[in-house]
Amino acid sequence: MDRRTMLILAAGMTAEAAASIADPWERLTRALSGPQALDEDTVERLEARTIGFHRLEYTLPARSIYQGLTSHINELSNLLQNSPPDRFRRRLAATAGEAATLASWLAWDLKQPAQSASFDRVSALAAKESGHPVIQACTYAYKSYAVEGNAALQLVRQAQQFIPAQGDDATRAWLLSREAEELAALGDRHAVQLLHQAEETYSGARPHRERAWTRFLDPGRMAAFQLSTYVRLGDERRVIDAGQTALSSIAQDAHPKRAVVIYTDVAQAQFQLGDITEGLTYARRALESAQRSESTWALQHLAAIEKTLAAQKDQAARELLGDLTSTRRTLGSSPA
C-alpha cells in the first residue's frame, strides 16, 4: 500500500468514501447539521479506524500517526460522554481502550513518558468499563519491550494474568513467545518449551479477527520469535533454519520495524557462527531499517549489535559502529 492508501485506512474509510466528503462545503454542511445519532455503522467505523491505526503502527513512524490517533481517541471520548445506549457503550469503551494502549506505546516511542502514563490509565479504565480485561494484557506486553531482563519478564507474566481462560489465542501466543524470548535472554532453556506452546496456540488462533493489536501476528512474526529465542540461547543448529524462515518473511515486507528485529537477530547469529562479513551485512540492513522506522524500540534492539561491534577490530565494523552511534544520537535512545 502507498502512504495515501494507508492513511485512508487509518481513517477507517474506503477511497470512495473519502472522496465523497472531499468538498469543504459538504464537510461544513455536515458539521452545521448537528450531532448525528449513534448507530451501528458509526460504531463499526470507529472500531475499524482503531484497527487501522494498529496496522499502521508497524509500518509508519510513530510521529506520522500519533496526532491522528489522539484525535480519534478524543472523538471516542466525546461519544462516551454523551451517554450512548448500553449496547454501544461497551463497544466504544473497548475500542477506546485498544486505541489508548497504542497511544501509550507511541507516546513512549516519541519520548513523552507523562503522556504514555496517562494513556495507560485510560486503557485500564476502559478495560474495566468495557468488560474486556485483556486490553490490559496488551498494555503490559507493550511495556515489556521498553525494559530488559527480569523486569521485562515480569511485565510479560503480568500481562498473561489478564488473558481469559478461553479465547484470545493470538494474544496468548504473542505473550508465550515474548516470555520465551526473555527467558532465553536469561539463559533459561525452558524457553524452548514455551516457544513450542506458543506455536501450538498460534495454530488455533485467528489474529486477524481477535483484537485490534493482534493483526501483526502472522507466520513471519512467529518465525522472528523463533529466531530471537534460538539466537539468545546460542542454539546454532536451530538458528540457521529459523533464520532462513524469518528472512523469507521479509522478502516482500513493508514493515521496517519487523525487518530491524529479524536482521539484527540474523546478524547476531552470523557473528556467533564466526562469519563477520555476513554479520556486518545484516547489521547494516538492520540499521537502515531502524533509520526508516524512526523507532526508539528498534534502536534498543540494535544495542546487542553495538556491543558486538565494539569488540571487533575490522574497519567495516568500526564504521558501522560509528553510524549506529550517530543514528542513536540523532533519533535518541531513551523515552526520558
Burial 56-80 (b: 16+ CB within 10 A, else e): bbbbbbbebbbebbbebbeebeebb
* 118 found inside a domain: yes
* 69 found inside a domain: yes
- How many structural domains is the chain composed of? 1
The reported pLDDT for the residue numbered 161 is 97
* 312 found inside a domain: no
Rounded to whole angstroms, the Cα distance separating 172 from 203 reads 12
User: 315-318 long-range contacts, Cβ below 8 Å, gap at least 24?
Assistant: 316/280, 317/276, 317/280
Handedness of CA 311, 314, 320, 323 (dihedral sign): positive
The reported pLDDT for the residue numbered 237 is 84
* 95 found inside a domain: yes
**Which range of residues forms the domain containing residue 103?**
1-132
* 139 found inside a domain: no
Q: Which residues contact 154 (CB under 8 A, 6 or more apart)?
A: none
- Residue 3 binned pLDDT confidence (cut-offs 50, 70, 90): low
* 300 found inside a domain: no
Rounded to whole angstroms, the Cα distance separating 157 from 140 reads 9
pLDDT at 139 over 90: yes
Do residues 335 and 297 make contact, with C-beta atoms less than 8 angstroms apart? Answer: no
What is the average per-residue pLDDT within 69-77?
91
Do residues 233 and 221 make contact, with C-beta atoms less than 8 angstroms apart? Answer: no
* 290 found inside a domain: no
pLDDT at 27 over 80: no
The reported pLDDT for the residue numbered 251 is 64
pLDDT at 336 over 50: no
Rounded to whole angstroms, the Cα distance separating 265 from 260 reads 8
Do residues 55 and 98 make contact, with C-beta atoms less than 8 angstroms apart? Answer: no
What is the average per-residue pLDDT within 141-159?
95
* 298 found inside a domain: no
Q: Give the helix ranges, DSSP H, for 186-294.
A: 190-203, 219-233, 236-249, 256-273, 276-293
